Structure 1
Amino acid sequence: MTEEMINTFPQTLTIAGTDSGGGAGVMADLKTMQERHVFSTAVIVAVTAQNTLGVQDFMAMPKQLIDEQFASLADDFAIKACKTGMLADAEHVHIVVENLRKYDFGPVTVDPVMIAKGGAALLADDAIETVKTELLPLATIVTPNLPEAERLTGMTIKTAADMRASAVKLRDLGALNVVIKGGHNGSDEVSDFVLLADGAEFWLSAPRVDTIRTHGTGDTLSSCITAELAKGASVEAAIRTAKDYVEAAIRNTIQVGHGHGPLNHWAYGEAHHDSL
């Protein structure tokens, strides 16, 4: 193989924490990216002891090891898009930001992970401001759920108008494109609000599936967006594909674990072989 042929396959990067239970975090990201036919790499920021019942413990990685992971990937791969997930605390948000400024890994999707499905905090309170001031200005897309959007904007979000206003605030903080996920609103239909960099805006809706097997939903959405961007899709097309992918992964459930079980990451591919 010639040098020109090396690194022609679309490659992605997830910068996040692990989930020993396999349903969220880096594990969900890698599964999703694989299903979307890109090659995925990872920078591990934290390691969790976790299952479908909750997070029992976690440990953040030392700065040197995080820096070395970034440098190692930059030396060998041609990463076309990346995403962030669990970043633990203000110090580690700053470490990740430093590296994203140092290396060009393409469009950055920020999933501002704060709380696990079981209620455990995955981002220290003092890190919220660091995310707002340092990470969001680097974001090509930010994908908060309603509680995360409230924390980032200082708003109470109850209505569709509130969702739109919060998206505008996140754009003002530096994110180019915003997806406000509506899964926490309790309605029969899950509606996400999308505000694009060019000012276009729209809603994406899907019927709510009556299940508690939704562990890793946010990770899966953001990693699917990242995979599509790496393949050259537009931001809007990547978001629409990711919405469909997550809806299929929730609807076609698998029975794993005693608590908030994982998504079925291969469900969409079984029905959409030709779209990959």
Structure 2
Amino acid sequence: MTMPPVVLTIAGTDSGGAAGIAADLATIGHHGCHGACVVTAVTAQDTTGVHAVHPVPVDVVDAQISAVLDDLPVTVVKTGMLGAPEVVALVGQRLAHLPIVVDPVLVATSGAVLGDRSVATAYVRDLLPRARVATPNLDEARALTGRDGTPADLAARLADLGCAVVLTGGEAGIDWLAVPGGTPRPLTHPRVETTNDHGTGCTHSSALAAHLALGATVAEAAARAAAYTHQQLLLSRTWDLGRGRGPIAHTAHITLGGSS
């Protein structure tokens, strides 16, 4: 049996199971990759919001990275909530030799702040120049650049840091792909009207990382990640889970059984 590529996610937990490492590992597994994880923070979180955050000490984050790298052949790294500038810098230092997909988590779906100005500055200084792809939404792109502007303009500004950028959450049904020195181009996809979208950003960036690990180009991985996210939103749009913004689907349909 062919060994699956290993995708390492470095992110926080979500006790509601919709976002963070729970979303990342489920998505990575759905794509036929093996998911490894480094926990940066433990959150008390559900569909209504983030109620508490316990950061993991940076030396423990470092020890987790060493445990994975010393034992597993990591193909791609995906980051989510890093939470502190010291952790952002650590990831940039330890993992720059690998393709990194950066989901620059700064604000949760509920509006809770998961990364302050110092974290945004660290992303720009220490991680995005070393990343393969960044997947900010429109608000995160504004925070990272310190500017307002069109989604295409913001994507191009971030790409000037040295990584490809897939900017989501701009005009309805349009993401923007920018590469260093290139002209941003729109990536169109169907829009799903739903309030069950908690974990969408984690799911999208993890799917993109998995496709890169499977050999896709950045443009191919971005298109396939958007298609996968659309499929999962369609699956969960009629669910009634939680009292707030419900989770995007992380279920897979399998057939159990064998010969009788």
- Equivalent AA in structure 2 for residue 116 of structure 1: A
Q: Distance in 2 between matches of 1:38 and 1:141?
A: 19
1:84 equivalent in structure 2: 79
- Equivalent AA in structure 2 for residue 97 of structure 1: G
Which of the two has greater helix per residue? 1
2:245 equivalent in structure 1: 260
Q: Confirm or deny that 1:128 pairs with 2:123.
A: no
Q: Distance in 1 between matches of 2:130 and 2:251?
A: 31
Q: Does the CA-based 8 Å contact 2:156-2:179 persist in structure 1? A: no
Residues 18-45 of structure 1: CA deviation (Å, up to 9, x unaligned):
1111000111000100111100000111
Cα root mean square deviation, aligned: 1.9
How far apart are residue 165 of structure 1 and its match?
1.3
Aligned residue-pair number: 252
Residues 147-206 of structure 1: CA deviation (Å, up to 9, x unaligned):
00111112213xxxx21111111011222x1111125x5xxx321011135736432223
2:223 equivalent in structure 1: 240
Q: Distance in 1 between matches of 2:190 and 2:243?
A: 24
Q: Confirm or deny that 1:207 pairs with 2:190.
A: yes
1:273 equivalent in structure 2: none
How far apart are residue 98 of structure 1 and its match?
2.5
Q: Distance in 1 between matches of 2:191 and 2:221?
A: 21
Partner residue of 1:23 out of 12, 18, 21 = 18
Runs of 4+ in 1 over 6 A off after TM superposition: none
Q: Distance in 2 between matches of 1:20 and 1:156?
A: 33
Which is further off, 256-265 or 27-36? 256-265
Question: TM-score, normalised on structure 1?
Answer: 0.86
Question: How does 1:1-276 map onto structure 2 within 5 Å?
Answer: 8-101=3-96, 104=97, 106-157=98-149, 162-175=150-163, 177-182=164-169, 185=171, 189-197=172-180, 199=182, 201-253=184-236, 254-266=239-251
Question: TM-score, normalised on structure 2?
Answer: 0.91
Give percent identity, aligned residues only: 40
SS of residue paired to 2:83: coil
Gaps of at least 5 residues in structure 2 are 255-260
Q: Does the CA-based 8 Å contact 1:182-1:193 persist in structure 2? A: no
SS of residue paired to 1:174: coil
Q: Does the CA-based 8 Å contact 1:90-1:124 persist in structure 2? A: no
Q: Does the CA-based 8 Å contact 2:161-2:180 persist in structure 1? A: no
Gaps of at least 5 residues in structure 1 are 271-276
- Equivalent AA in structure 2 for residue 237 of structure 1: E
